[in-house]
Structure 1
Amino acid sequence: MNDVHIAHATQLVKETHEGALPRPVIKSFFDEPTYTASHVVYDPKTREAAIIDSVLNYDPASGRTSCESAQAVLDFIKNENLTIVWQLETHAHADHLSAAPWLQEQLGGKLAIGAEITRVQEVFGKIFNAGTRFARDGSQFDHLFRDGDRFMIGEIEAMALHVPGHTPADMAFVIGDAAFIGDTLFMPDFGTARADFPGGDARQLYRSIRRLLSLPAETRLFLCHDYKAPGRDFYAWETTIGAQRESNLHVHDGVSEDEFVEMRTKRDATLSLPNLIMPSVQINMRGGRLPEPEENGTRYIKIPLDTL
């Protein structure tokens, strides 16, 4: 990981915060069944926008999908007369299904994720025995971001930062003075993401987090999940770099890498798998698209026994 990229992201945040560059407007949507925060970020001047980490509703008891959460995003975008240029995924989520293809059909925009999605596809393609028809080259996405890649949302400059550890493919998107950091960090009173999925690494996660925490203290952070920390009776998904450095439960300033790795490893050993990991990973590694129908015209989710 290149510190030159962090230096540029730092300058981007500072110039936006000081008013030299346009400041993005952000509208967040919270899907309580999956505890997922999705975000629409847009340039108020050009009305160009990106959707980040959208949610397709899924009922595991019936196997039915629906679009209530995505419809709320769609309605907002139409009401605000926004033009979608990007459908961004911070990683291949294990706790909710992506609605990006459905939203893309309605609104357009390039579907993008980190380039290391190919590693996730390779590992989980084998776990789910996806077969030779399942491409493991990231071709299900329109664009694969690499560390330091720059892009635009209207007149607002943005940068992709590779922040592996939770999964190999995690990306953070610094857009103006805001950073969308996926599952690397939660609210300060809840801590950090797990690192025990295939391809995860607690030591790598610590280094990715410290890299993010080198951004300016005033950087607005938008998270992908919230689970209500003990003693807090409301959901929250926005914080700042400064708040994380001062009081994050697991990785505030002063916590060493070895201390973090010991804590994270012990904590992860006590966690159950996410309820929706089986459908989520199979669909999200395909860019949010459902598996191909079988001979009878029905699509199926596989559950490997005694594997995960």
Structure 2
Amino acid sequence: MSLSRTSPSRGNGSAEVIGFYDEDTGSIQYIAMDPATRKAALIDVVMGFDPTNAATDTEGADRILRFAKAEGIEIEWVLDTHPHADHLMASSYLKERLGVPNAIGAKVTDIAALWRDYYNMPDAFAPEQDFDRLFADGDTFRIGDLPVRVMLSDGHTLGSITYVVGDDAAFVHDTFMLPDVGTSRCDFPGGTAHDLYRSLQEILKLPDDTRLFIGHDYGTDDRPGPAWESTVAEQRRHNAHIGGGVSEDDYVDLREARDKTLSLPDRMLHVLQMNLRAGRAPDAESDGNSYLKIPMNRL
């Protein structure tokens, strides 16, 4: 499925947002653009990955680059919200293609330390070398003339971040899903339902009309097509898991019970050891090929 939608700017201080749907993983990839300067950031762009033979491709990322070029959009940043467990990130590829900085949350270093143990690779991963910026909670930067504020939004992972762009757009990754679905899982190593609940509440402190752009959607029986935009007000009133003021304890019980029914993503053990390198494959060995190390019976 090749699907994209534009959320237009609401005026001065408001970003134009184009979302691109990745059918294989149910991921949404974004261009966040300042309409006044036509400068933009790419957020959570996917590199194709086939787990059956560990093959990669750049088809989806290249489609987004072609779109940006055709629309006269100048990419200034390659951003990710966290080291994804369900898709391979295109960060390293895009940085090389575009010659612009790439960035992620500063606590990726803690996530890397956690996964060195799971992979039994004590010398692996150096996020400070593979990413140009490691954003801490409260850090700010600009996309064109639009200010961007970084919020730590842990729970799904211990280092996930939200980008609040301009006056009315927040890229909330794997925290909220659409209101009719609820929220994202938090059972991966380093994630907790308590932390996710608190992150959700911080996002709900944004102004009611803030557009929230989520990381994933898979459709539902009542809503078969994917979608990815809601508002703070809609989530506060109607979110299936926390709408109407659900308590932290009730949310944790619900979220943890749900997570116990979920299987691990089929790409997780493959792509995390690349995503902790900004999507870069391990260094080639003596035969010129790269190899992944998959832990058995650990998760």
Using the size of structure 2 for normalisation, the TM-score is 0.94
Change (3 A) 1:81 1:130: farther
Counterparts of 2:250 and 2:171 in 1: how far apart (Å)? Answer: 26
Counterparts of 1:290 and 1:187 in 2: how far apart (Å)? Answer: 33
Which residue, 96, 101, 118 being the options, matches 1:127?
118
**Partner residue of 1:10?**
none
The structure where strand makes up a greater share of residues is: 2
Structure 1, residues 230-264: CA drift from partner, whole Å, max 9, x if none?
32111001111111111111111320000000111
**Partner residue of 1:148?**
138
**Partner residue of 2:3?**
none
Shift of 1:43: 1.0
Matched, 1:301 2:289: no
Which residue, 202, 206, 209 being the options, matches 2:200?
209
Which residue, 130, 149, 152 being the options, matches 1:159?
149
Shift of 1:86: 1.0
Asked if structure 1 preserves the Cα contact closer than 8 Å seen for 2:42 and 2:78, the reply is yes
Counterparts of 1:274 and 1:156 in 2: how far apart (Å)? Answer: 35
Matched, 1:139 2:129: yes
**Partner residue of 1:114?**
105
Which residue, 188, 199, 202 being the options, matches 2:190?
199
**Partner residue of 1:71?**
62
Change (3 A) 1:258 1:268: same
Shift of 1:108: 2.6
Counterparts of 1:108 and 1:243 in 2: how far apart (Å)? Answer: 38
Deviates more, 1:31-40 or 1:224-233: 224-233
RMSD, matched Cα:
1.3
**Partner residue of 2:237?**
246
Which residue, 30, 49, 55 being the options, matches 1:58?
49
SS of the aligned residue for 2:177 comes to: coil
Counterparts of 2:127 and 2:274 in 1: how far apart (Å)? Answer: 15
Counterparts of 1:226 and 1:302 in 2: how far apart (Å)? Answer: 29
Counterparts of 1:142 and 1:243 in 2: how far apart (Å)? Answer: 35
Shift of 1:136: 4.3
Which residue, 255, 279, 282 being the options, matches 1:264?
255
Structure 1, residues 44-94: CA drift from partner, whole Å, max 9, x if none?
121211000000001112221111110111101111222211111000000
Structure 1, residues 69-125: CA drift from partner, whole Å, max 9, x if none?
101111011112222111110000000001111122222321111110011100112
Counterparts of 2:44 and 2:274 in 1: how far apart (Å)? Answer: 14
Counterparts of 2:129 and 2:95 in 1: how far apart (Å)? Answer: 16
**Partner residue of 2:213?**
222
**Partner residue of 2:77?**
86
Aligned length, in residue pairs: 290
Which residue, 157, 161, 171 being the options, matches 2:161?
171
Counterparts of 1:135 and 1:233 in 2: how far apart (Å)? Answer: 39
- Structure 2 gap ranges (5+): 1-8
Counterparts of 2:73 and 2:218 in 1: how far apart (Å)? Answer: 30
Asked if structure 1 preserves the Cα contact closer than 8 Å seen for 2:127 and 2:277, the reply is no
Structure 1, residues 162-195: CA drift from partner, whole Å, max 9, x if none?
0101101100000011000110110011111111
For 1:231, give the aligned amino acid. Answer: D
SS of the aligned residue for 2:207 comes to: coil
Counterparts of 1:290 and 1:135 in 2: how far apart (Å)? Answer: 11
Deviates more, 1:58-67 or 1:112-121: 58-67
Asked if structure 2 preserves the Cα contact closer than 8 Å seen for 1:84 and 1:108, the reply is no
Counterparts of 2:127 and 2:169 in 1: how far apart (Å)? Answer: 30
Identity of aligned residues (%): 43
Counterparts of 1:23 and 1:152 in 2: how far apart (Å)? Answer: 13
SS of the aligned residue for 2:40 comes to: strand
Asked if structure 2 preserves the Cα contact closer than 8 Å seen for 1:185 and 1:209, the reply is yes
Which residue, 174, 183, 200 being the options, matches 1:183?
174
Which residue, 277, 291, 297 being the options, matches 2:282?
291
Using the size of structure 1 for normalisation, the TM-score is 0.91
- Structure 1 gap ranges (5+): 1-15
